[in-house]
Amino acid sequence: MSQPVEKMNNKLSVEDLEDLAQGAAFLGTGGGGDPYIGMLLARHAIEEFGMPEIIEPEDLDDDATVFTSTMLGAPTVLVEKAASGDDIDLSINKLAQFIGKKPDAISPIEIGGMNSMIPICAAARMGLPLVNSDGMGRAFPEIQMVTYNVYGVPTTPAVIVDEHLESVIVETSEAKRAEDLIRVCAIQMGLSVMISCYPLTGKQVKNYGVSGTIGIALGIGRALVEGRKRGEPVQAMMDLLRSTKYYNHCVELFDGKVTDLRRETTRGFSIGHCHIEAIDGSGDLLQLEFQNEHLVARLNGNTVAIVPDLISVVDRETGQTITTEGLAYGQRVKVIGTSAAPVMRTPESLAVFGPHAFGIEEEFLRIEEIHNLV
């Protein structure tokens, strides 16, 4: 019997990185930073330090110390100003020094885009295992929008490092306050910074993380490769998603051409909207709103998917995910909506990263309910 797509072998191969990056780009729902740049960073770290071991959350001792490693900023800046490696090391080492504990493992804080790759760099450089889990099963723009925060894990202490190896340590008792302070620091530091935050125990990773997401991202990438050989990459990807434990409710929301786009970098985010007209000439219009990541999709004014469920834009021919900073007029795309992990849909989670958290005056409705998938 084959193992579930969520489970991993002990190690990735260098050849796996491209597939992993493609899958993580999809789960990033438009954000998380450019996965191609992240892949190059991970490949360089592996060539220098070796491939880190991949472990499952259940392999962690309850009292193990687990650090996250992530980049924060606006995607429009991250594509031009990536990590050096020394900034990754400094953020982790300063956090270890501050709390008086060295990490036993590294975990992604989100599985989207570049931030699926940065933890590989960190684990390789530190000689530590990488946990097949993350804190949201997608990407989100703000540091408090993490399952660990929802269930009481302190966001701080957090160490922020810029490309000049200047650093700031933030310590506060309230997660949204941590986001506000970190965002101000990030803006002052050029809106592309390395962070290590949410120091975790093994028990907290097991209880509150979204497990198996590195394995799922790798599975998505592999499905796209196989689907391209058959001329149906989007269908192959959706078939894979339907076999997973979180993303099993997925639907093609729209097939069309980008006809209007507004995107600006403001308040430390890439914010805007994208209008897509139906490819079949019917006149149907899909409108996407995003804040780094896509938040809501409306078809002819009616909501067809909404945060925290996933909304991703892919090239209609290749299935390649198009990030929000990569959207352009005239692109022919498909928009895919996917269910979020159950832990992301609880009342406690919706209070932190449901529609109202983004100023959207709508209630969350599960994608399977909107499209009668149940």
Sequence-distant (6+) residues with CB within 8 A of 87 are: 161, 162, 163, 165, 193, 194
Kindly tell me the burial class for residue 80, based on how many C-beta atoms sit within 10 Å of its own C-beta (0-12, 13-18, 19 or more).
Answer: exposed
What are the structural domains of the chain?
A: 16-211 (3.40.1610.10), 248-370 (2.40.390.10)
Beta strand extents in the chain (DSSP E only): 54-55, 65-68, 70-73, 105-107, 130-131, 133-134, 158-161, 167-170, 192-196, 200-201, 210-211, 250-266, 269-278, 285-291, 293-299, 302-306, 310-315, 332-338
pLDDT interval class at 1 (50, 70, 90): very low
- What is the model's pLDDT at position 213? 96
What is the number of alpha carbons within 13 Å of residue 123 lying toward its C-beta? Answer: 27
In the chain, what percentage of residues exceed pLDDT 90? 83
Token pair 């434990």 in the structure block, residue = 245
Summarize the confidence of residues 7-14 as an average pLDDT: 75
CA–CA distance, 250 with 238 (Å, rounded to integer): 7
Lowest mean pLDDT among 33-42, 53-62, 63-72, 77-86: 77-86
- What is the model's pLDDT at position 74? 67
Summarize the confidence of residues 154-174 as an average pLDDT: 96
Instruction: List pLDDT tens digits, range 254-286.
Output: 999 999 999 987 777 888 999 999 999 999 999
Summarize the confidence of residues 214-240 as an average pLDDT: 97
If you count DSSP H runs as helices and E runs as strands, how many of each does the chain have, helices first?
12, 18
pLDDT interval class at 244 (50, 70, 90): very high
Classify strands 54-55 and 130-131 as parallel, antiparallel or unpaired: parallel
Fill in the DSSP letter of residue 307.
T
Instruction: List pLDDT tens digits, range 66-112.
Output: 999 998 876 666 667 777 899 999 999 999 999 999 999 999 999 98
What three-state secondary structure class fits 158? Answer: strand
Distances 166 to 29, 94, 191, 228, 334 between C-alpha atoms, Å:
31, 12, 13, 44, 42
Burial 237-259 (b: 16+ CB within 10 A, else e): bbebbeebebbebbbebbbbebe
pLDDT interval class at 325 (50, 70, 90): confident
What is the chain's alpha carbon radius of gyration, rounded to the nearest angstrom? 19
> Is residue 341 scored above 90 in pLDDT?
yes
